[in-house]
Amino acid sequence: MTAVRERTEVRERIGRLLGTRVDDLTDLGRSHSWTLHRAALADGREVFVKTTRDEVGVFAAEAAGLRWLADAGPGTPVPDVLGVDGHMLVLPWLPPAPPTPEAAERLGRELARMHTEDRPDAYGAPWDGFIADLPLDNTPDWRDWPSWYAERRLEPFLRRASRHLSGGDARLVERVIEGAGGLAGPPEPPSRVHGDLWSGNIRWTDGRALLIDPAAHGGHRETDLAMMALFGTPHLDRVLAAYHETAPPADGWRERIPLHQLHPLLVHLELFGGSYRSQVVETARAALAAGR
Report the candidate in 230, 198, 235, 203 with the shortest Cα–Cα distance to residue 215: 198
DSSP annotation of 89? E
CA distances from 14 to 11, 29, 125, 230 (A): 5, 17, 28, 35
Instruction: Please say if 196 is a catalytic residue.
Output: yes
Q: Per-residue DSSP letters for 32-60?
A: TTEEEEEEEETTS-EEEEEE-SS--SHHH
CB count within 10 Å of CB 146 equals: 22
Helices (H), the chain: 3-18, 58-70, 101-116, 145-149, 155-161, 167-178, 180-183, 221-230, 236-246, 257-272, 277-290
261 vs 197: CA distance, rounded Å: 11
Q: Is 204 helix (H, G, I), strand (E, B) or coil?
A: strand
Query: Are the beta carbons of 213 and 180 closer than 8 angstroms?
Result: no
Residue-level length of the chain: 292
Tell me the CA distances in angstroms from 215 to 125, 167, 193, 287, one per residue in order.
10, 29, 8, 23
Q: Among 169, 196, 213, 224, which one carries the catalytic annotation? A: 196
Q: What is the C-alpha separation between 8 and 5, in angstroms, rounded?
A: 5
Between the CA of residue 50 and those of 13, 26, 173, 290, what are the distances in Å?
11, 12, 35, 40
* Burial of residue 112 (number of CB atoms within 10 Å: 0-12, 13-18, 19+): buried
The residues annotated as belonging to the active site are: 196
